Amino acid sequence: PETGSGAAPSARDVADEGAAGRVRVTPWYEEGRLRLSVARRTRWLVGHRAVGGDVEVTVGAPGPAPTALRLTHRGTGTVVSFPVEAAPRDGGEVTVRVRAETVAAARPPRDGAPAAIPAAHTESWLAELVLADGGTDAVACDPCAAPVAYPLPHGRELVVAATPGGDLVLHDRTPQPYLDRVLWRADGTLLVSGRLPDAAPHASELVLKDAAHDAELAFATRHEEGRFHGVLPLGAVPSLAGPVPLREGRWTLHLRERGVPGAVPDAPVRIAPSVLDGLPASRTVRGKPLALDRQRYDEALVIAGPAVPAGDRGPYRRRVLREQHYALHRSRPLRDTVLYSSFGGRAYGDSPRAVHEELVRRGADVEHLWAVRDAQTAVPDTVRAVVVGSAEWHGALAHSRWVVTNTHLPRWFTRRGGQRIIQTWHGTPLKRIGADLAGTLCAGLAHLAARPRVSRQWSVLLSPNAHSTPVLRSALGFSGRLMETGLPRTDALFAADRELRAAAVRERLGIEPGRKVVLYAPTPRDDLAYDTGQHRLHLPLDLRLAREELGDGHVLLVRSHPLVADRLPAHHAPFALDVSAHPDATELLLAADVLVTDYSSLAVDFANTGRPLLFLTPDLPHYRDTLRGFTLDFEARVPGPLLSTTGELIDALGDLDAIAAASAEAYEDFRETFCHRDDGGAAGRVADLMER
C-alpha cells in the first residue's frame, strides 16, 4: 500500500538524553534500498531572531566550547565564519550573529550576474560549530519546525531551516511561499493555502509549470493577512477544448505576480514541514489519478497520471491488450460503429469531425466513437469518447465497421474483412513527407519514413486536390484506392452559418469588436523536438515588439501544431493568445482577418476565404535545402510575401491592401491549383462513400 511520498523522508529524534544529547534516526535511500543512520547529536538549535538587519542564532552547545559558526556553501564549498558572541551561558547555550552583508558578499555569481544581485537561485549554506581544537560539530535542527525567513538586501531572504537529515541550514534566496493547508474535493479540485513572504506581490497567481515542456497554467489567488488561498480545478481545467483534466505529466507549483513572468517571487511554492508526512495527497477523478507530492524535499509538485484505466496500464498489460484482447475482438462480428481519430486522439476537429457531423446530419444508424488521448478532448453528445490505450479502444479498433482517421493508426492494427478504413490525411502536403524525405535531414526519422505496410491498413486515401494525389500516393507508399474528394475540414468555410461561427469564436476568445484578428500558425521543426511525438514551439516572432507597434488594434492568435507540446505563456494576453487547445483550426480560420504562417497546409485552407496570407520564413533556406524541402516551387507559388523579421511582418500588417493587390495574381493561381475541389461538399462525398 502507498505509505508516503517517494521524496527523502525526514529525520526523527527518538530519545532525549539531556546533556548527553539526542538520539536521531535519519532514513535515506541508496541504490533503491532504505537505509537508517542512528547518531547522537550534542548541539542543537535553540532559537533565532533578527538583530539590526542580521540574524542572531542561539545554539545549545554543552561540552567543549565552540569558537565560531561556520557556513559552507553547498554548491561551491565557499566558507564564511562568524565568531561566538560570548562565552557559553547556563546550559551551554551560545549565540552567533550571522551578518547579512557577509553572506551576500560570499554569494557565488550566477548566469554572469554580480554576486550581490543574483537571479532566482537558492544558495544553501550548511551550518556547523567550530571547536577550539579545529574540530566541528553539526547543529541539529527540528525537521518539523517551520522555516523562518529574514529579509536580505536586493529583495532576498535568509531562511533558517532544517535539512531532510535534521541539520541546520541557511537558505539565501528570493522570497518563497509555504503551503501549509491542502484539501481535495471529490471533483478533483485542489484547495491550497499557505504563508506569503513579505515581498509577495499584491495581485498574484498560482502557476503550474510542466516539468518536461514549456507549458504552464495560471490560476488566480486570494490574499488575506499574509496568506494566500488558491483553487486549482485539476479535475476539470478550463480550456478552449472545454473542461479537461490536467494533462499527464509532472507540474511544479509557483507563485508570481499576475501577468509578469520572472517576477518576484516566481519561485517554487514550498511545502511546510507540517504537511510533508501527509504526502502524496491523492485523488482519482473519472479514472484520472491526480496527486500533490514534493520534489527536492519540500518543493510542491503536482502529478497527473494517465487517463487510461488502471487495469490497462503498464508494458505487460499493453502487450496483452494488443496481442490477446484485440485479437479476441477481431474474431467477433463487426458492429455498425464508426471510430473517429483526429491527430491520434488529440482533438475533436479536422476532417474526421466534418465527416462525423455529416453522418449525424443524415441520421446514419450507427454508433459514433471518438478516440481521446489522456482525456484532453471534450466531445459532443453525438459521439462517445474512448480513451486511447484502453481495452475499450483496442476493442473498437477491432470491431468497428468504419474507422475515420487523419493520421497513422497503430502499426499492429490490421484491417479485417468487411472493415473500411477512411484515411482523410490532414492537409495539402506543401512540404515533403514520408518517402519523399529521402536525402533530407528527416530521412532517418522513423515517424516520417515511408510506410507501405501501414498504408495497407487503409481502404481508401482521400486527396484534397490534383497536386496532392501523386504526392500522397508516393510519399505514403499507398497503392490502393485514392479518391480526390477535397478536404472535408474545409466544408465549414463554405457553410451558410460561417459568419455566425466566426463571431462565436471571437466572443469565446474575448476579442473586442473592431480588433484585427491575426492568426499565427507555425509548422513544427523536426530538429526542434523533444521526441518523435512531442515537438517544441518554433516562435521566431518578437511578441514584445509586435505588441508595442500594433497596439490595441490587433490581437494575435497563436496556433501550434497538434504535435507541439509547448504553449505560449499566459502573460502575453490580451495581445497574444495561445489557441492551440481550440478543437478545430478551421473555426479559427473563420475568425481570422489574416493568416500568418510559414509552411503549414493551413495556408491552402485559408486561401478559400480570399483573405490576406503572410509567410514569416526566416529559416527558409535551412527548411528548403536541409530539413524537409517542398513539393512545389514554394518561393514562386505562395500567395503572399515572404517575410524574414518581426519588423517586416508589422509593416505588412499595416498595409494589407497593398499586399493583397501585389499578390492577387499569385493568389488566384494558388486557389486554382490547390482549392479546386473545396466547395463545401467534401464530407458529403465521404459519407456517400461510406454508405455504399
CATH number at residue 214: 2.60.40
pLDDT, greater one: 16 or 148: 148
Angle 684-690-692 from CA coordinates, rounded to 5°: 105
- pLDDT tens per residue across span 327-358: 999 999 999 999 999 999 999 999 999 999 99
Average pLDDT score over residue span 49-67: 89
The structure's pTM equals 0.90
- pLDDT tens per residue across span 146-202: 899 998 877 788 999 998 888 999 999 888 899 999 999 999 999 999 999 877 767
Quick check: 219 pLDDT over 60?
yes
Report the chain's mean pLDDT, rounded to a whole number: 90
Say if residues 391 and 413 touch (Cβ distance below 8 Å).
no
211 and 168 within one domain: no
Q: Which three cell numbers stand for residue 533?
A: 511525438
49 and 186 within one domain: no
Say if residues 557 and 577 touch (Cβ distance below 8 Å).
yes
Quick check: 618 pLDDT over 90?
yes
Distance CA 602, CA 476 (A): 20
- pLDDT tens per residue across span 530-559: 987 889 999 999 999 999 999 889 999 999
Confidence of residue 459 (pLDDT cuts 50, 70, 90): very high
Q: Which three cell numbers stand for residue 507?
A: 466572443
Q: Which three cell numbers stand for residue 344?
A: 491520434
Answer whether residue 679 is part of any domain. no
Confidence of residue 260 (pLDDT cuts 50, 70, 90): low
Answer whether residue 22 is part of any domain. no
Confidence of residue 117 (pLDDT cuts 50, 70, 90): very low
Q: How many CB atoms lie within 10 A of CB 545?
A: 14
pLDDT of 509: 95
Which amino acid is residue 165, in one-letter code?
Answer: G
Quick check: 125 pLDDT over 60?
yes
Q: How many CB atoms lie within 10 A of CB 331?
A: 9
Confidence of residue 120 (pLDDT cuts 50, 70, 90): low
Say if residues 685 and 490 touch (Cβ distance below 8 Å).
no
665 and 518 within one domain: yes
Distance CA 488, CA 469 (A): 15
Answer whether residue 362 is part of any domain. yes
195 and 117 within one domain: no
Quick check: 499 pLDDT over 50?
yes
Q: Tell me which range, 116-130, 191-205, 666-680, is most confidently predicted by mean pLDDT.
A: 666-680
The string of DSSP codes covering 15-80 is EE-GGG-EEEEEEEEETTEEEEEEEEE--EEEEEEEETTEEEEEEE--SSPEEEEEEEETTT--EE
Instruction: Give the pairing type, strands 178-184 and 270-271.
Output: parallel
Answer whether residue 685 is part of any domain. no
Quick check: 513 pLDDT over 50?
yes
501 and 389 within one domain: no
530 and 667 within one domain: yes
Domain count, the chain: 4
Q: Which three cell numbers stand for residue 213?
A: 515542456
The string of DSSP codes covering 300-335 is EEEEE--SS-GGG-SHHHHHHIIIIIHHHHHTSPPE
612 and 505 within one domain: yes
pLDDT of 1: 34
pLDDT of 3: 46
Q: String of b and e for 460-483 (b: at least 16 CB within 10 Å)? A: bbbbbbebbbebbbebbbbeeebe
- Sequence-distant (≥ 6) Cβ neighbours of residue 224 within 8 angstroms: none
285 and 403 within one domain: no
Quick check: 409 pLDDT over 90?
yes
Q: Which three cell numbers stand for residue 65?
A: 566550547
pLDDT of 160: 95
Confidence of residue 297 (pLDDT cuts 50, 70, 90): confident
Answer whether residue 550 is part of any domain. yes
Average pLDDT score over residue span 392-414: 96
* Beta bridge pairs of residue 520: 558, 596
Answer whether residue 560 is part of any domain. yes
pLDDT of 121: 72
615 and 471 within one domain: no
Q: Domain ends where: 259, 275, 304?
A: 304
Answer whether residue 688 is part of any domain. no
338 and 269 within one domain: no
Average pLDDT score over residue span 651-665: 96
Say if residues 590 and 492 touch (Cβ distance below 8 Å).
yes
Report the CATH number at residue 456.
3.40.50.11820
Distance CA 300, CA 349 (A): 35
Confidence of residue 519 (pLDDT cuts 50, 70, 90): very high
How far is CA 636 from its chain centroid? 37
Quick check: 262 pLDDT over 60?
no
Confidence of residue 8 (pLDDT cuts 50, 70, 90): low
Tell me what percent of the residues of the chain surpass a pLDDT of 90.
72
> Could you list the residue range(s) of the whole structural domain that residue 355 is in?
312-490
Tell me what percent of the residues of the chain surpass a pLDDT of 70.
93
pLDDT of 116: 47
162 and 144 within one domain: yes
Task: Read off φ and ψ for residue 8, nearest 5 degrees.
Answer: -60, 125
Confidence of residue 73 (pLDDT cuts 50, 70, 90): very high
Q: Tell me which range, 56-65, 173-182, 482-491, is most confidently predicted by mean pLDDT.
A: 482-491
287 and 273 within one domain: yes
Confidence of residue 447 (pLDDT cuts 50, 70, 90): very low
Residues in the chain: 692
Quick check: 525 pLDDT over 90?
yes
Q: Domain ends where: 173, 206, 238?
A: 173
Average pLDDT score over residue span 126-131: 94
Quick check: 311 pLDDT over 70?
yes
Q: Domain ends where: 304, 325, 352?
A: 304
Confidence of residue 482 (pLDDT cuts 50, 70, 90): very high
Quick check: 139 pLDDT over 80?
yes
Specify the DSSP element, H or E, that contains 457. none
pLDDT of 308: 96
pLDDT, greater one: 193 or 25: 193
Specify the DSSP element, H or E, that contains 657. helix 656-674
Closest to 175 measured CA to CA, from 191, 193, 192, 154:
154
Specify the DSSP element, H or E, that contains 179. strand 178-184
Quick check: 86 pLDDT over 80?
no
Answer whether residue 18 is part of any domain. no
